[in-house]
Amino acid sequence: MKKVLLSLFVAFAIVVPTQAATYNAAARVPVVGQNLLTKNGITTANVKFKVVSDYVDNSDYVENKTVNVSSAELSFAGNDNEVAAVVANELGHIISGHASKGKVVQLFTGGTTTDSSSNLLSNYQYTKEEKEADIIATNLMVNAGYNPLAIIVVLTKQSNTYWEALQGKPANAERAMSVYNYVSYAYPAKLKAGYGCNEYRTFVAYATPIVEARNADEKQVSKYEKEQAKAVKKSDSQLTKFKTRGGLSWWDALFGLLSAEE
């Protein structure tokens, strides 16, 4: 009997780690991606998903219908919820038209902005666009049945900057807090259900005193509610118009118009 139990224990010890190690985030991208599109009513015809190891560039999505996804980002994804967080963020950028917006700006500026002040502006714009894409990603994930808190998990699994570490903040704290606030307002049941991993629990420990301080100030609460209501309205409008235009953001349409006039 002891030998049987020992054999079972050894078999279990071998099988469990093997199963845990078999999750392949990159292989799940096409399935998760198509589910995000289908459940959100976005046309899936000819849309492909491609995992790339270099810089992610989705500026040609309108022409090639290919959603490029970063292998580096996927390295932080340990399940379908977290893969959805990575893919949905890229879809958020596409729906917002961030790449085409950059093209429009280059048409008017000639792309000649290299001084330090423009770099600061570029960093600000980058963070702003990431937050906007994260909000759209949150909606896409909820509609497709994924846990949107996985966005926070993927963000905070990454290495924090020296400045974040110095302040005792988790990695990507600003973006993660933006998602946390949005989920709290738009999907309170999702926030209440939580997400079962150490990264999320660590983030909640960081976020809780921030939320408590805000809730103790009526002006801050009012500001928070107005900002979240605006985010809900804007993200809903962006997705609706993207679908109405057949997979074009406003910036895509504008760039196409300006290019035709050249």
Dump pLDDT digits (tens) for 125-159. 788 999 999 999 999 999 999 999 999 999 999 99
| Domain span including residue 110 | 14-261
257 domain-assigned = yes
Residues 172-229: pLDDT tens digits? 999 999 999 999 999 999 999 999 999 999 999 999 999 999 999 999 999 999 999 9
At residue 258, the pLDDT reads: 61
Instruction: For residue 15, give every residue at least 6 positions away whose Cβ sits within 8 Å of its Cβ, in sequence order, or none.
Output: none
109 domain-assigned = yes
Residue 48, strand partner residues = 66
42 domain-assigned = yes
Q: Could you tell me the pLDDT band of residue 92, with boundaries at 50, 70 and 90?
A: very high
Token digits of residue 245: 């235009």
With 0.95 as the threshold, say if the pTM is over it: no
Nearest residue to 242 via CA among 36, 51, 62, 101:
62
Residue 50, strand partner residues = 68
More confident residue, 6 or 112: 112
175 domain-assigned = yes
For residues 184 and 156, is the Cβ–Cβ distance under 8 A? no
Query: What number is the average pLDDT over the span 85-92?
Result: 98
DSSP the chain: -HHHHHHHHHHHHHHHHHHHHT--HHHHHHHHHHHHHHHTT---TT-EEEEESS----TTHHHH-EEEEEHHHHTT--SHHHHHHHHHHHHHHHHHTHHHHHHHHHHHHTT---SHHHHHHHHHHHHHHHHHHHHHHHHHHHHTT--TTHHHHHHHHSPPPHHHHHTTPPTTHHHHHHHHHHHHHH-HHHHHH---SHHHHHHHHHHHHHHHHHHT-HHHHHHHHHHHHHHHHHHHHHHHHHHHTTS--HHHHHHHHHHHH-
User: How many independent structural domains does the chain possess?
Assistant: 1
Query: What number is the average pLDDT over the span 27-49?
Result: 95
237 domain-assigned = yes
1 domain-assigned = no
168 domain-assigned = yes
92 domain-assigned = yes
